Structure 1
Amino acid sequence: MQRILIFRNQGIGDLMLISPAMRAIRALHPEAHISVFVGDWSKASVEGNPNIDEIISYPDPWIQDRKPFRVFQLARIVRKKKFNRVYIFHSHSILHMIVKSAWIPERYGFSFQGTGRFLTNTTEWEPNSSRYIADNYLDIPRLAGYDGEDLSLDFFLSSEDESAAASILAEHNIKSGNYLVISPGGGINPRQNVFEKRWGAEKFGQLFDLLNEEYGIPILLTGAPAEKGICREAANIAKTPVIDLCGETDFKASAALVKNSRALICNDSAIMHTAVVFQVPSMAVFGPSNPLSLLPQNGLNRWVSAGLDCSPCYCNSIFSGCEHELACMKELSAEKVFGAVKELLNE
């Protein structure tokens, strides 16, 4: 039996964006044993995925620490699995060295500015282009002969996840489909925290009031425990009462709430991709990052930005800092975002 490895760590959203490629790899290798190597941070993204037989997860600092001893430590772990082929969804040569040192004979992945020298088969990585990144990820299985074009994302919920969301709605006497999910946080990742991707508590609080005045339906705030501060601040700024669930639900329960909502409003963050998965209307606030590469152009999952010439500046998962005092977020008013959301909801 062929033993195939899919290698991708970093954020939860990154793993959702390679899910079309995971389906493609399963189509290429229907009888193979397929493992996915991920960091602990993003393990939830692949749990329950029927295209995967095994999840291999390790602490993210191990993978991010690119010192030689760590590279060879991880290589020894992978080598024991005796994989025949790896599909690695990174362009960094140090991570390529891990799979080469693991003695995997066939190594498919990205090259970026000459970084693919440790791989046997490469395709070009196109960071920060106007091309949807899920399509760029699909180029890797295309190297092996896949010819499909399906870019729909996968994220699998268990019955426990669905029940957790249903219990929250019942507790607050909220009907399915008659509430908004808003996530003011984001920007937290194993590799680098980029809080500049957050629109800010004050403007989210203003948005709550505008939405309440127009629609009068419940607003549920979601986020990780590390995002409780911004959620609480936004809730305190607003005159509108909101249901603050930040830090009280795990990511999958929050995704189940998105699945049954009228719409999701968020920054560029992992939760944004769940609306794409479940085909729920969404509005994402963008500043430093590129919406054209991170969202499909489907009319349902939309974005709003200040439209400044200096944006996007967050490229290839690296943010080098802002020289314009975060004008891309500061110049984006609550009224403009509300107008975009109103247009989405009224269609």
Structure 2
Amino acid sequence: LPLMVERRYRELIRRGPLPGNPATVWEILVRAPNWVGDAVMSLPVLWGLRRLYPEASLTVLASPRVAPLFAGLPGLKEVIPYPMGWGKWRLLRSLRKRYDLALALPNSFEAAFGLWLTGVPYRLGYSADGRSPFLTLVVRGRRRLEGLHQVYYYLGLLTALGEVREFIPPTLSLTPAEREEGQVRFRFQAVNPGRPWVGLAPGAAYGPAKRWPPESFAQVAYRLQKEFAVNLVLLGGPEDREAALAVQDHSPAQILDLTGRTSLRQALMVLSQLKVLITNDSGLMHAAAALGVPVVAIFGSTDPRTTGPFSSRAKVLYQGLPCSPCLRRTCKIGYPCLAAITSEEVFQAAAPWLAEHP
């Protein structure tokens, strides 16, 4: 861990009893974050739990939106989809008395209350949202972690259970069969057979203050295809269809559009085949980084220090204007932080990854 992170961790305050001998902890339940990017950034917590409790089995409770991320991760016993509506209360009751320790990674009241309903004897989470009465082990002082990357924020919870001095960065893996499926998906759809694929992710769930203009994506796409003969693919969920269509409308480049046409797991397969992903601050950005795919990440209203791609193979473009990061969904003054990032900058950030290809 960086020394600054270690110092901040020492400022956290633990309240409540510890589980005791690690050998007595056999079953651990982890309530995962609800968004893809947050779920990816929480992955080091699972590795940390395996280190602290090597004999324990880990179960992840995750919304259906993010549950596929955890498939195939080493050391996981089970991934339980956490339903919406009244079904979640029935599920939580069905989990009663099955676990020795549980962690609430989201800061919401519901995450802690849900773990209380399961009857887990040791329930860990940050003090937030008035939920402390439903936790047995509370970490106070989370504001002292402001300015650190979200990866370190999630990992800080483990300081209540033991010393945290090392960690494994967010890492996703695919089976050989999944990687082969990703290759097959591209094999017969290449405009330029044998040439690399570049991904474009013009959407972002948070709002337009995180979305670089589609016409700018279109300009970069056209130039990359013209100068490097790359194949191009648009990626995103159904909510990103409008942005993807706008990119196609503004670009003469030939682009394969998979927006809204893949499951999350299939999107990971596609990401694994890319030479580089050009993306807004989004869940796909974090997933690509966790797969080891080079990323060009464009930031507007959010802060790359705290939610940037956690990867040495990433180039972040961020203007850092006096009003940045405002963390707003919309902007009353025309999104100057995004408008200031030019297509030339993005092209130059992506080009070195493509120059490596023969």
TM-score by length of 2: 0.81
Asked if the contact 1:283/1:304 (under 8 Å) is kept, the reply is: yes
CA distance in 2, matches of 1:298, 1:75: 35
Q: Which residue identity does 1:17 align to in structure 2?
A: M
- 1:96 equivalent to 2:112? Answer yes
Partner of 1:169: 186
Using the TM superposition, give the Cα deviation of residue 240 of structure 1 relative to its aligned residue in structure 2, in angstroms: 1.7
Alpha-carbon offset, residue 71 of structure 1: 8.3
Matched, 1:180 2:198: yes
Q: Is the 8 A contact 2:276 2:350 kept in 1?
A: no
CA distance in 2, matches of 1:22, 1:309: 37
Give the superposition deviation at 1:75: 4.4
CA–CA separation in structure 2 for the residues paired with 1:52 and 1:293: 27
Q: What amino acid maps onto 1:149 in structure 2?
A: E
Task: Determine whether 1:333 maps to 2:351.
Answer: no
Task: Find out whether 1:16 has 2:55 as its counterpart.
Answer: no
Tell me the secondary structure at the aligned position of residue 53 of structure 1. strand
Identity %: 24
Spell out, residue by residue over 1:89-137, the C-alpha distance to the aligned partner (whole angstroms, 9 max, x if none).
1222342222223322211111248753432323343599432211221
| Residue in structure 2 matched with residue 66 of structure 1 by the alignment | none
Once the two structures are superposed, residues 9-65 of structure 1 have per-residue CA deviations (whole angstroms, 9 ceiling, x without a partner) of 311222111111101112222222321111111111111122211112122x43xxx
CA distance in 1, matches of 2:89, 2:253: 54
**What's the counterpart of residue 190 of structure 1?**
none
Partner of 1:65: none
| CA shift in 2, pair 1:77/1:179, >3 Å | same
Amino acid at match of 2:54: P
8 Å CA contact retained: 2:285, 2:309: no
Offset from partner CA, 1:116-161 (integer Å, 9 cap, x none): 3432323343599432211221112232114342242122323443
Q: Which letter maps to 2:349?
A: A
Letter in 1 for 2:173: F
Deviation of the 1:86 alpha carbon: 0.6
Q: In structure 2, what residue type is equivalent to 1:200?
A: P
CA contact 2:195–2:231 (8 Å) conserved in 1: no
CA distance in 2: counterparts of 1:128 and 1:217, whole angstroms: 42
Preserved CA contact (<8 Å) 2:236 2:258: yes
| Structure 2 counterpart of 1:142 | 159
Matches within 5 A, 1:34-53: 34-53=58-77
Distance 1:148 1:176 in 2: 44
**Which of residues 245, 256, 281 is equivalent to 1:232?**
245
Structure 1 partner of 2:53: 29
Alpha-carbon distance between aligned partners in 2 of 1:72 and 1:206, rounded to the nearest angstrom: 49
The runs of 5 or more residues in structure 2 that have no matched partner are 1-24
Whole-Å separation in 1 of the counterparts to 2:260 and 2:129? 40
SS at match of 1:40: coil
Structure 1's 176 and 35: CA in aligned 2 closer, same or farther, altered over 3 A?
A: farther
| Secondary structure at 1:248 match in 2 | coil
Assess, with a 3 A threshold, how the Cα gap between structure 1 residues 311 and 346 changes in structure 2: closer, same or farther.
farther
Question: Gapped runs of 5+ residues in structure 1?
Answer: 63-68, 188-192
Separation in structure 1 between the aligned mates of residue 94 and residue 188 of structure 2, nearest angstrom:
46
**Equivalents in 1 of 2:50, 2:262: separation in Å?**
32
Paired with 1:101 and 1:164, the residues of 2 have a C-alpha distance of 41
Deviation at 1:218, TM superposition (A): 1.5
- Contact map agreement 2:208 2:330 (CA 8 A) in 1: no
- Out of 207, 210, 224, which is 2:223 matched to? 210
**1:261 corresponds to which of 270, 274, 281:** 274
Distance in structure 2 (CA, Å) of the matches to 1:196 and 1:129: 21
Per mean C-alpha deviation after superposition, the further-off stretch among 100-109 and 286-295 is 100-109
TM-superposed deviation, 1:260: 2.7
1:281 Cα deviation from its structure 2 partner: 1.6
Give me the TM-score of the superposition, normalised by structure 1: 0.84
